[in-house]
Amino acid sequence: MTVEQIVSEGKDQFPIGMRVLAVDDDPTCLLLLGTLLRRCQYHVTTTSQAKTALKMLRENKNKFDLVISDVHMPDMDGFKLLEHVGLEMDLPVIMLSANGDTKLVMKGITHGACDYLLKPVRIEELQNIWQHVVRRKKKDRCNSGSKDKPHPDSGEDAGIGNVDNNGKLNKKRKDQNEDEDDERDENGHDNEDPSAQKKPRVVWSVELHRKFVAAVNQLGIDKAVPKKILELMNVEKLTRENVASHLQKFRLYLKRISCVANQQANMAAALGTADSAYLRMGSLNGLGNFHTLAGSDQLHNAAFRSFPPSGVLGRLNTPAGLGIRGLPSPGTIQLGHVQNSGNPTNDLSKLQSFVPGNHNTNILQGMPMSLELDRLQHNKSVGHIGELPTTDSTTVFPGSGSLVDARITGFSNNPLLGVTSNSLMLEGSSQQATSHTSVSAIGFQNGNALSDFTLIAPASNQLQDSKADSQGQASLINCNAGQIIRSAPQEWNAPRKDAPYQSHALINSSIPINSAMIQLGQCLDRNNSIFHRTTDLDSVGPLNFVDPLSIKQSEGDNYIMEPSVIEKEGYLMFQPRPHGSHVPDNTGSLKDLASAMMKQEDDLGCNGYSLRTSI
Amino acid sequence: MERNPMRRQLASMRKSLFDQGYLDEQFMELEQLLDDANPNFVEEVVTLYYRDSARLILNLDRALERRPLDFSKLDGLMHQFKGSSSSIGAKKVKAESTLFREYCKSGNAEGCMRTFQQLKKEYATLRKKLETYFQLARQIGPMESANRPK
Q: With b meaning 16 or more CB within 10 Å and e meaning fewer, what string describes A278-294?
A: bbbbbbbbbbbbbbbbb
Does some domain include residue A214?
Answer: yes
Structural domain contains residue A320? no
Which whole number is the average pLDDT over B92-119?
92
Query: Rounded to whole angstroms, how far apart are CA atoms A268 and A264?
Result: 6
> B80 to chain A: which residues are within 8 Å by CB?
25-26, 72
| Length reported for chain B | 150
Check whether residue A128 and residue A210 sit in a common domain: no
Q: Identify the residue among A24, A29, A71, A178 best suited for mutation to test binding to B, counting B beta carbons within 10 A and taking the highest.
A: A29
The DSSP output letter for A45 is E
Nearest Cα residue to A581 out of A569, A563, A564? A563
What is the reported pLDDT for A206? Answer: 79
Q: Which of B49, B51, B82 sits opposite A98 (nearest CB)?
A: B82
Q: How many domains does chain A have?
A: 2
Phi, psi of A47, deg, nearest 5 = -155, 150
Q: Which residues contact A200 (CB under 8 A, 6 or more apart)?
A: none
What residues of B are in the A interface, CB distance below 8 Å?
A: 25-26, 29-30, 32-33, 38, 41, 44-45, 48-49, 51-53, 76, 79-80, 82-84, 86-89
pTM for the complete prediction? 0.42
Select the residue from A23, A24, A25, A26 to test the B interface by mutation, using most B Cβ atoms within 10 A: A26
Is residue A174 domain-resident?
no
* From A31, A39, A122, residue closest to B48, measured CB to CB: A31
- CA pair distance A495, A512, nearest whole angstrom: 24
Confidence of residue A143 (pLDDT cuts 50, 70, 90): low
Q: Which one is predicted more confidently, A564 or B119?
A: B119
pLDDT of residue A459: 38
Q: What's residue A251's pLDDT?
A: 86
ipTM rounded to 2 decimals? 0.89
Domain boundaries, chain B: 3-146
Mean pLDDT across A67-85: 89
User: What is d(CA A131, CA B67) in angstroms, rounded to the nearest whole number?
Assistant: 49
**A162 domain-assigned:** no
Distance in Å, alpha carbon of A33 to nearest chain B alpha carbon: 9
Q: Tell me, yes or no, whether A212 and A136 share the same domain.
A: no
Question: For testing the chain B interface, which of A24, A25, A32, A173 should be mutated: the one with the most B CBs within 10 Å?
Answer: A32
Cβ–Cβ of A28/B49 closer than 8 Å? yes
Question: CB B26 to CB A99 under 8 A?
Answer: no
CA distance A161 to A138: 9
Q: Is residue A23 part of a domain?
A: yes
A99 contacts in B (CB within 8 Å)?
79
A534 confidence band (pLDDT: 50, 70, 90): very low
Q: Which residues of A428-462 are buried (b: 16+ CB within 10 A; e: fewer)?
A: bbbbbbbbbbbbbbbbbbbbbbbbbbbbbbbbbbb
Nearest partner of A551 among A565, A533, A569, A570, judged by Cα: A533
Closest CA to A302 of A404, A186, A153, A173: A404
Q: Are residues A207 and A137 part of one domain? A: no
Average pLDDT estimate for A21-32: 92
pLDDT digits (tens, 9 = 90+) for A599-614: 544 544 444 344 444 4
Per-residue pLDDT, A131:
87
A136: domain CATH number?
A: 3.40.50.2300
How much is the pLDDT for A205? 79
Q: pLDDT tier at A261 (50, 70, 90 boundaries)?
A: low
Q: Which residue in chain B is spatially nearest to A124 when comparing CA positions?
A: B29
pLDDT of residue A526: 42
Which of A176, A64, A167 lies closest to A117 in space, CA to CA? A176
In a domain, residue A530? The reply is no
B62-98, pLDDT tens digit by residue? 999 988 888 888 998 999 999 999 999 999 999 999 9
**For residues B6-21, average pLDDT:** 92
List, for residues A210-239, the tens digit of each pLDDT value: 888 888 888 888 888 888 888 888 887 788
CB A458 within 8 A of CB A288: yes
CA dist., res. A206 & res. A210, Å (int): 6
Contact (Cβ atoms closer than 8 angstroms) between residue A485 and residue A309? no
Expressed as residue numbers, the domain containing A247 is 203-267
- Chain A residues inside the 8 Å CB shell of B97: none
Residue of A25, A35, A70 lying closest to B41 (CB–CB): A35
- What pLDDT is attached to residue B13? 93
| Bond preceding residue A226 cis, omega within 30 of 0 | no
- Of A495, A511, A507, A368, the residue nearest A441 (C-alpha): A368
Alpha helices (H) in A454-589, listed in sequence order: 468-487, 493-510, 527-537, 546-552, 563-569
Residue A44 has pLDDT above 50, yes or no: yes
Q: At what angle do helices A345-353 and A240-272 cross, to 10 degrees?
A: 70
Smallest Cβ–Cβ distance between A119 and the set B41, B51, B86 belongs to B86
Closest CA to A301 of A248, A378, A352, A363: A248
pLDDT per residue over A356-394, tens digit each?
434 443 333 434 343 333 443 444 433 333 333 333 433
pLDDT at A267 over 90: no
Q: Assess if residue A571 is contained within a domain.
A: no
pLDDT at A513: 39
Pick the residue with more confidence: A555 or A63?
A63
Distance from CA of B8 to the nearest CA of A (A): 28
Q: Which amino acid is at A9?
A: E
Q: Give A124→chain B minimum CA distance, Å.
A: 10
Q: Are residues B84 and A26, on separate chains, in Cβ contact within 8 Å?
A: yes
The answer to whether position A66 is within a domain reads yes
User: Which of A265-279, A459-473, B23-37 is most confident?
Assistant: B23-37
CATH class of B3-146: mainly alpha
> Which residues in chain B touch residue A173, judged by CB atoms under 8 angstroms apart?
none
